[in-house]
Structures are given as C-alpha cells and as structure tokens.
Chain A
Amino acid sequence: MLNGTKTIQNNPLVKQLPSATVFTNKKFEVVYASDKFVRDFGFDSTHVFGKPINELFTTLSDNWENTLYNCLSNSSESLNVNYSLKSEADAKWYKWSCTAWLNDANETVGLIIHFNDITEEKLKGEKVAKLQSLLDATCEISKIGVWEYDFISDTLIGCDVIREIYEVSKDYKFSFDSAISQYKDGHSRNTIAMHLHDTLTNGKTWNEKLQFKTIKGKEIWVQVAGMPTYIDGKIVGIKGTLQNIEEQIRREAKTKENELLMRTLIDNLPLNVFIKDTESRKILVNKSECEYMGVENADQLLGKNDFDLFDKDIAQISRAEDLHVMETLIPMLGRETTSRTKDGKMVTFLTSKIPLKSNNGKAQGLVGISMDITDLKQKEQELRDLINVTSQQNKKLVNFAHIVSHNLRSHTANFSMLLDFLAHEKNENEKIKITEMLTQASDNLLETLENLNEVVAINTNINLKKKPVRLNQRIASVKHNLKPFFASNEARIINTISDDVKINVIPSYIDSILMNFFTNAIKYKHPDRSPIIRLETKNEEGYTILSISDNGLGIDLNKYGEKLFGMYKTFHDHSDSRGIGLYITKNQIEAMNGKVTVASEVGVGTTFKIYFNEQN
C-alpha cells in the first residue's frame, strides 16, 4: 500500500510529539509531521507528506519563502514568526518557530517548524488595546486623568491628561514622592499623604479638592481621588483620578464674590428691595424691607404674599399693580404709593416694579424697589402749610398797611384842612366851631389808633396759650354781661349745645368773639320781631364748628360779602356802627388757627359758622 509505505516513512518519534511540528526538506516538502499538526490544521494524513508547505497553507503572507530560506542558510537557531488565517469568521492565529534540521554531519537537510496557537493571546491583546483607547478617549474628553501606583515595584504611571496637569512631556517619569511634593505645602500635601497612606494600609477610598503646583510652577486647584488595587485580596497599589478644577473653583469664587457684592449692595441700599414670584410671594427681600416690615429675619417674609403681610385693601392694590406689570411687561416706575403695615404704620413710598422675564419671554416675577418718602411728604406738607400761612400773613400785612395808611391819612388830612381854616378865619364863632372839630378829629384819630393797636396785638400776641374751655360756660358768662342789653331788646338765646362740649381757645378771645356776634345779632335785629339767637355745634375734620344764627335784618352778601369782615366797613346806617367788630373777631379767630364763614338772607337772618381748630 502506497499509503502504508508513506505512513511508515513518518518518524514515530515526531509523530508522537505533543506540539504541532513538521520536518521539511530543503524544498519545504513535508518529511515528518506530528499527529497534532495533522489534527490541528484538519489535513488528510495521506496528503500531507511530500507536499510543500505553501501548498498546505494557502493563505501565507508573501514573505514566508524568504523567512524560511533565511532559516536554511543560517546554521544557528533562529525564530521566525508567521500567522495563519483559516477563515474570516473563526480566525486562528499561530506563531511559527523555525529551526534548521541538521544531520549527523551537521549539515542542513531541512527545517523543523513548530506551530503555537496564539489566537487567545492575540484576542486578549486586541481587547486590551480597545479598552485602552476607550480609556484614553474618556480621559481626553473629560479631562480627567487616571494614574496608578504599583506599591510592589514603586512605580507610578499617569495618562496623557495627568501629564497635561503636571505640565510635563510624554517621556517624563513619574515618581511617587515627587508626585506628592507637587501638592501645596501644608493642608493639601498633608491630606494627600495621609490618604495615600490610609489606602495602602486600610484600603480607604477618598476624593478631595486640593491645591497643587505644576512642574512649571503654576498653582491650580485639583480634584484628586484614589482607591486601592488588590491582587489576591492583598493591597498592591493605588489607582485614581486627577482633574484640574482651577477654572471651576475660580468660577465658583467669582460667583460667590458676585453674590456677596450683590447682597451687600441691596442690603445697604437705603431702599426697600424685594423680588416676588408670579403669585406675588416674596422670594427675596433686603435688610431695609425686613426693617420696614419689623422682622428680624428675611425668612419671616419669604414665601408670603401681600395678603399675608398687609390689610386686604392695601394688599389688593399691590396685587393689582403686580399683575399689571407681569401681564404687560411694562415696568411701573416711581409711583407714589401709600402702604399701611398690620400694626397701622402709614408710609408713603416711591415704588417701582420691574418685570422679571423668563426664557419664554413671559414674566416669572418682578423686582420691586420702594423708597420711603414719608418724611419728605411730611416736610412738603409742612412747607406748603408754611407757605400758606406766610402768604396769608403777607396778605394781611398788606391789607393792614392799607388800612393804617388810609385811616391815618384821612385824619391828618382833616387836621391839615382845619388848621388851614383856623389860620385864615376872622370870625370868632367860626373859630370856635373849627376848634371843636379839631377836638373831634383828634378823638377820632385816638380811637383809630386804639383799634389798630388791638388788631396788632391780636396778630403779634402769638404766645397766648390755647386751653380747653367749656363752651356753655363762656356763653353763659357773656350772656350775663350783656343782660341789660338782652333785656331791653327782648332778645333770647336758644342753645342746643351739650354741656360737655369743650373747645380749645384763648379764653379772652372767645369772650370777645361771642360778645361781638351776640351784640351784632341784636343790634341788627329785624324791626318786626324780637331777636332770637340759635347756637349749636358739630365736629368736622378736626374742627369744632359753632354756628350762631339770628333772625335779624340779614345782609346782601352779593353786594357786601367780600367787605363784611373788612375794617371800617359798615353796612347799616346805624350811628354806633364802627366797622371794627367783625374785623377784630375775624383776626382773633384766625389767630387761633380757625376760620369763619357766613350765610345770610335779607329780611330772614344771618348765620355765622366759627371753626375752632382742635389740633393746634
């Protein structure tokens, strides 16, 4: 059997070799082959022997022949590596080891080739490479460096990102000690050293923000973490990450700084600042707002709306303003608003409300700024009052100057005229008449001066203190003094004023005022009826109003209204009308910060209303 002879040709020693081995002649034709070789590559044993290698392996790379020839010519042992690919799907990788086959005479007769299956090894290598590149990419993208320290061999390795952080080149060799010394002296270095020690001894895992100095001397903040590496349950090293967080820290610091600046600013503004959400709940308040609301802590206001903090009427106005600002997105600027806290404090504010827009362009709340202008308003009012008083006094003064000038002038004119007559008069009887007139003129002048004095006294004697008096008591007293006058005129008073009514007045003035109105009412009585004086009071806006009504002649106010309280204005042809009474009365009332009004109908009667100021 041809097969049989061939089989016999195979060396029994080679046949039984445990590895896949072939012996070839110089033409690379198979001479001997181990059974494992035939089996591993799935060859038919009858076709293997005598065939050249390249016919058996159809997928050899091109340079196999050169490699094998090199082995032949080189007597010394050499190792060449080749790979074989069986199929696309199920690739197997082999490592070829070639040795020259020498005979007894030490001549090369062929080649001995060992095939080692390295497929598994190769696949593992690929996987590792793949993982490595994934890790590299992760590091590169996240800028998180990874490092590993082998305790046994005292070697420290770091990825490219670590090198970037350390600012060292690719060929820099890391060492455990120098790596630690890059951490800032003090807290940072102590912390890292302690953690590393803890990991090596206790297997601790840690994560810290520390200060670090690069090889080039740049100080940065890093986030460094570490965990132990185990082999067979024993700690053999530490692996970890390192990240440059300088920018993040700086940003955080900047943000904190800005926040602090903002907070300091709004807390120290002499303005009430608040931020409200769409439900008008306060989500930020400054110190001034807290002080105004009378709370120690902002937390007592946060989350509360105006209805929680103010009375309903005030809250409704404020909520309406908020809604308007948030709906229209038009800021409300510098509006004067009045607010009342629940404890009743009234404050006038100059308020602005500015909508806070969110990304979708709608309002997500508003910023409110209020300036307390209560003092300013009060000052303004005081100033206005003062201007009123001043202008009124000025008017009075001008008026008074005219009165003085007119009255004095008319008397002096009379003197001048009469004296001129006297100088030229021959007739003794006429001289006597002129002298009598001079005396009359002198008396008139004295009386005028007395009247003017009285008016001046009222207007300059501002130090007279007002005090509360029982009105009915004063009425009774004046009535008593006028008793004969009342009796002779059959006059009476109908008084509906309650006995407990008190008014705040200068006592001597009230007597004079009452006296004047009573005598006027009787003096200007209607010829057809007995005088009746009706008295009543009511209170109105800080005034006690006394009304004195008579049933006398009445007066045409269209004709005489503006002159009624003027000096030396008389309106009735009475010989005892001096035209001074109402003028003085009005001055006395005004000196007590009151006022007087009049209503009258001719033939029916007159009503005077005297407003007594109860405040000042």
Chain B
Amino acid sequence: MNKIESICIIDDDPITVFGIQKMLSLVVQCDDITVYRNGKLAIDGIKQRIEENKQAPQVIFLDINMPIMDGWQFLDEFITLPTSEKVRVNIITSSIDKIDLQKWECFKQKTDHTITFNNKPIRKEHVAEITKVA
C-alpha cells in the first residue's frame, strides 16, 4: 500500500469529505489527514504548518465551490507559499463549467506543483491513482 506523509482535504460538503476519507483508508497509508471546511481555513492551517517548520501536505484534495474562500482563491494564495517540496493538488468538483477548466489550465502554467482536475463522482481506483507524491 502506498504511503503518504500528510494529506489535506478541503471541502465544505461532509459527505464528500467522508467519501474521500473512506477511500483513502482503503488505498493509502497515511497518519496525517487534515480536513478544512473552506479555503480560508485551509490556507491559514497550511501557513501555520510552514511557520512551525512542518512539511506542507504532500497531497491536497480541493473543492472549488466553498464559502468565504473558494478553491481558486485558495490556489491563488497557495502557489505563493514558500514550500520546499512539490505538492500534488487534486481538484475534486462536480463542475463541468468550461471556465473552471480554463482556470485549471491557467494554474498549471503558473506553478511547479502538480494540479489535476477530477470530476465527481470519484471511485476508489481513481483515488488510488491520484494519491501519490508529486
């Protein structure tokens, strides 16, 4: 089973969070999974980790539509953070809006981090595939 140091799930929908957590427990071995209910809480939490000299999460599951700070606004700030390692950001969304796909393309150009775009619903096999170190 694949082993990941730390994973972060950013989503305001408890069912999606439950689903991702359940699938992760089946496909990877990880002792550090953090859940944030929106982008704002997530960016604050990750900043704090970096301040405490802890490693940034290796894999992030990111929702787009969230209150206060959405997925894109989170990415805007996240890619400016001083991270030592490359991070894999898996966008998990039910959006099939072209604009969201364009934004994704745009972010891929702007950063060295790996960013993937995944439409709901996601399956266990797919989670296994996208949950690895970038």
Contact = CB atoms under 8 A, between A and B. Distances in A.
A559 interface: yes
Contacts of A129: none
A568 B65 contact: yes
A405 B95 CA distance: 8
B19 A417 contact: yes
B68 A416 contact: no
Given A569-B67, A570-B68, A409 B15 contact: no
Given A417-B122, A437-B15, A406 B94 contact: yes
A416 B123 CA distance: 10
Given A414-B121, A417-B122, A573-B37, A441 B15 contact: yes
Contact of B120 (A409, A421, A559, A572): A409
* Most central of A406, A412, A416 by chain B CB within 10 Å: A406
A414 B19 contact: yes
Q: Which among A417, A418, A441, A569 has the greatest number of chain B C-beta atoms within 10 A?
A: A417
Given A417-B121, A437-B18, A573-B37, A405 B67 contact: no
A490 B19 CA distance: 42
Interface string A433-454: 0000100110000000000000
Given A409-B120, A410-B13, A568-B65, A418 B97 contact: no
Given A413-B120, A559-B73, A418 B19 contact: yes
Interface residues of A, number: 25
Nearest to B120: A413
A437 B97 CA distance: 27
A577 B120 contact: no
A416 B15 CA distance: 11
A437 B22 CA distance: 13
Interface in A260-318: none
Interface string A560-587: 0000000011111100010100000000
Nearest to B69: A559
Contacts of B18: 437
A414 B16 contact: yes
B90 interface: no
Contact of A413 (B37, B38, B94, B97): B94
Interface string B115-134: 00000111100000000000
A413 B121 contact: yes
Contacts of A418: 15, 19
Contacts of B97: 402, 406
Contacts of A559: 73
A520 to B, nearest CB: 14
A540 interface: no
Interface in B56-107: 65, 67-68, 73, 94-97
A177 to B, nearest CB: 109
A573 B41 CA distance: 10
A85 B121 CA distance: 150
B96 A409 contact: yes
Residue with the highest number of chain A CB atoms closer than 10 Å, among B13, B15, B68: B15
Contacts of A420: 121, 123
* Residue from the set B37, B38, B94 with the largest chain A CB neighbour count within 10 Å: B94
A418 B122 CA distance: 11
Point out which of A402, A413, A568, A573 has the most chain B C-beta atoms below 10 A from its C-beta. Answer: A413
A421 B94 contact: no
Interface in B31-70: 37-38, 41, 65, 67-68
A440 B15 contact: yes
A581 B19 CA distance: 29
A119 B65 CA distance: 139
Contacts of B38: 573
Given A402-B97, A413-B121, A572 B22 contact: no
Interface string B1-29: 00000000000011110110010000000
Nearest to A569: B67
Given A410-B94, A418-B19, A571 B13 contact: no
A405 B100 CA distance: 14
Interface string A381-424: 00000000000000000000010011001101110111011000
28 contacts: A405-B96, A406-B65, A406-B94, A406-B97, A409-B94, A409-B95, A410-B13, A413-B16, A413-B94, A413-B121, A414-B16, A414-B121, A416-B121, A417-B15, A417-B16, A417-B19, A417-B120, A420-B123, A421-B19, A437-B15, A437-B18, A440-B14, A441-B15, A559-B73, A571-B68, A572-B67, A573-B41, A573-B67
Given A417-B120, A437-B14, A571-B68, 12 more contacts: A402-B97, A406-B94, A406-B97, A409-B94, A414-B120, A416-B121, A417-B121, A418-B15, A418-B19, A568-B65, A573-B38, A579-B67
3 A-B pairs with the lowest CB-CB distances in the bound complex, closest first: A413-B120, A570-B67, A410-B94
Interface of B: 13-16, 18-19, 22, 37-38, 41, 65, 67-68, 73, 94-97, 120-123
